Amino acid sequence: MQWRWPPNGRTVQEHQTAYRIALAVDWQIKPGMKLLELGCGQGDMTAVLGAAVGETGHVVAYDPAPLDYGAPITIGEAQKHLANSSFGKQLEVHLATDVMRDDITYPDNYFDGLVIAHASWYFDSLEQLQTTLRKVAPWCKRIFFAEWDITPRLANQVPHQLAVLIETQLAAFTPNSFANVRTLVTKQWLVEVLHELGYTVQTASQDAMKMEDGYWEASYTAETGLAAVTAMSLPDKFKQLMETEIRTLQTYDLTQMKTLDSFVATATRTDVQ
């Protein structure tokens, strides 16, 4: 199994930010917009949204994870840094807060758009995500969504796909999982759900070749997967399948792999002009 020396933190952050700027451009985020973001995490997307909406705009962001979640910088530390930045005044961030709480509500059409950028796989189930969308949809005129496309376009994206499938299978047998991948959300599923909620949907593909996310997922799974499977109480035949998948992932030269493309959706409620 081949490993590569990762680029320095500045280069990684430049790649992350450039990618999210491309998402904001694709969604046509404009100054003055009022946005709701779910799954804001360390704030990579929050920062771009705050800059895009400008001083006349507003971004309300939620994440259910505790403040000490995340590495190498926790979400609490990262969001504190953003709050002290030049555009912190247009950000309203709620960490360790589930938007599904009964006391959290907004008027219909309060937000110009809902943003879920690479946060959908953290949901515990498709049902949980669908229930969340049902609650917040009336507040939002549009929904802006981005997630990895599980179907590889190139052969060197297969290790990312395989790692994602392995992680999802492990999470299925891990109650209260904190894994990066807990539920696979596909473009087809999302479009169907948004149509049911009364939105028209446009989708596009976004190249993510410079992103390190695929390498992080594949290398972590290749390194820790066998130990995780050994420690779990699984049916013997399924455990053998998991071990085979992980050993297959280990045969790839991960120094040559690339991150999956993402699918990007822009959904507009049919009653919104």
Residue 33 belongs to a domain with what CATH number?
Answer: 3.40.50.150
Tell me what pLDDT residue 3 has: 46
Torsion sign across C-alpha atoms 152, 158, 162, 167: negative
Residue 87 forms part of a structural domain: yes
Residue 224 forms part of a structural domain: no
Torsion sign across C-alpha atoms 25, 26, 31, 36: negative
Residue 198 forms part of a structural domain: yes
- Residue partners of 131: CB distance under 8 A and separation at least 6: 100
CA gap 168, 1 in Å, rounded: 22
CA gap 219, 100 in Å, rounded: 34
CA gap 60, 36 in Å, rounded: 5
Which residue range is the domain that position 79 belongs to? 9-150+179-210+262-269
> Structure pTM?
0.92
CB neighbourhood size of 84 (10 A): 8
Count how many domains the chain has.
1
- Mind listing the pLDDT tens digit for each residue in 29-39? 999 999 999 99
- Residue pair 149/187 in contact (Cβ under 8 Å)? The answer is yes
Residue 170 forms part of a structural domain: no
Residue 46 forms part of a structural domain: yes
Residue 90 forms part of a structural domain: yes
- Give the chain's residues under pLDDT 50: 1-3, 5
Residue 20 forms part of a structural domain: yes
Residue 109 forms part of a structural domain: yes
Residue type, 19: Y
